[in-house]
Amino acid sequence: MSFTMVIAFTVLMILAIPVGHGLVIAGAVAVMWDGNGLPLMLIAQQMFDQTQSFPMLALPFFTLAGALMMGGKLGQQLLDFATEGMKRWRGGELSTTVVASVAFGGVSGSAVANASALGGVLIPWQKKRGYPAGLTAANNATSAVIDILIPPSIPMILYALVSGVSVADLFIAGILPGLMMALGFIGVCWWISKRRGYQPSTEPVDRKALLRLAIKSTPALALPVLILVGLRAGFATPTEMAVLSVVYSLLLSIFFYKDLSWQRFCQSMVEAGIATGVVMLVIMGSAVVGWLLTFDQVPARFAEWVKTTIDNKLLIILALNILMLIVGMPLDLPPAILLLGPIFVPLGAAIGLDPVQLGLIMIINLGIGLYTPPIGTTLFISASIAKCSMSETTKELWPFFAVAMIVLLLISYVPALTVY
């Protein structure tokens, strides 16, 4: 059945069928064509069973908290804070995107949302400051992926769903890789600016304005810290922390920022509902595929085949990285995690790879796929905002890509960076 399902899914992807629909249809085709009498009702049962998960409620609530935070004044204040703090550095205008991505990561949890929100404001401004359109697009596309490493992270919740790993452990493990990536990208912005002779802003830093923006941004930037402390101290489960995050966001918007209207509340609810619905369809479809793969014992057989074929843990990890990079190019991040997780987690356990470390390896790999041609979501969004060609953007991409690969290799082979 698994072979039939893979063929059907590949054909559907070539026909540009949405991933969620493609997963369900491919599973149904496999059962009807090669199911040996299995009832088609199993497809519906697997889809339904996957939705009956209390931890999965964290997904819509974290999404709603991010929508409430970023839909008002906070987004602009975070950008102003990053801009004011970085403008006197060489390449500071470019580095503003990186710093803002770290700040937005603690609120939104979505790389695609980050690329759209930051790019729409910062790319036109950077172009006016004399930076090439391709460079601003490449910088925005790569920096946006930092978002999925800084808690709360939607991909980490999805990986926890398929692996059984603690969400709190994943959130904590993602902080250091996210900061490493950010520092590396800031270094790239400085190096490019120095090499090409881009001069920093001569405007003096307004210390009073910087302090005022820092004070206004602190309550929102404290959200990821409160989430981590609450999870680590056992104060609440991830789902309960997600609900508390929504309450916290509402209170901040009403009493601190004073920018929450009924219209914006409804708009945030609709945005969160649409985003959750898209991901949920993928989750339901992947449940069907995962069940069929398990029924055919594909994960166990794959783990055994890899162990007997490659008798070296370091080479196995390298092979996993290469495979995930390839899969991440055509496939979006959520379905890739949900499809690869059930296969790679047993393999990781077989070679003694910690599941938290494997989760970070997978998320970074598939995150790189978001800005890797031919189908890079953040790459297309950024190039579209910058109004430049894909070739211009890709040409400027390689230094950022090199930094991301270095961080990936460090996370892959130095467990101390993710396992505490």
Average pLDDT over residues 28-56: 76
pLDDT at 151: 83
pLDDT in tens, 360-413: 999 999 999 888 876 678 888 888 888 888 888 888 999 999 999 999 999 999
Average pLDDT over residues 249-266: 86
**Lowest mean per-residue pLDDT among 29-33, 83-87, 274-278:** 83-87
pLDDT at 181: 94
Question: What percentage of the chain reaches a pLDDT higher than 90?
Answer: 15
Res. 313: pLDDT tops 80: yes
pLDDT at 201: 66
Work out the pLDDT band at 184, boundaries 50, 70, 90.
very high
pLDDT in tens, 4-25: 877 888 888 788 787 778 888 8
* Mean pLDDT rounded to a whole number for the chain: 82
45 vs 82 pLDDT, higher one: 45
pLDDT in tens, 123-170: 888 888 788 999 999 999 999 889 889 888 888 988 988 888 888 889
Res. 216: pLDDT tops 70: yes
pLDDT in tens, 266-275: 888 888 888 7
pLDDT at 286: 77
- Whole-model pTM above 0.85? no
Res. 176: pLDDT tops 80: yes
Work out the pLDDT band at 35, boundaries 50, 70, 90.
low
* Cβ–Cβ < 8 Å for 24, 285: yes
pLDDT in tens, 187-212: 999 999 888 887 766 666 667 777 88
pLDDT at 351: 87
Work out the pLDDT band at 56, boundaries 50, 70, 90.
confident
Work out the pLDDT band at 108, boundaries 50, 70, 90.
low
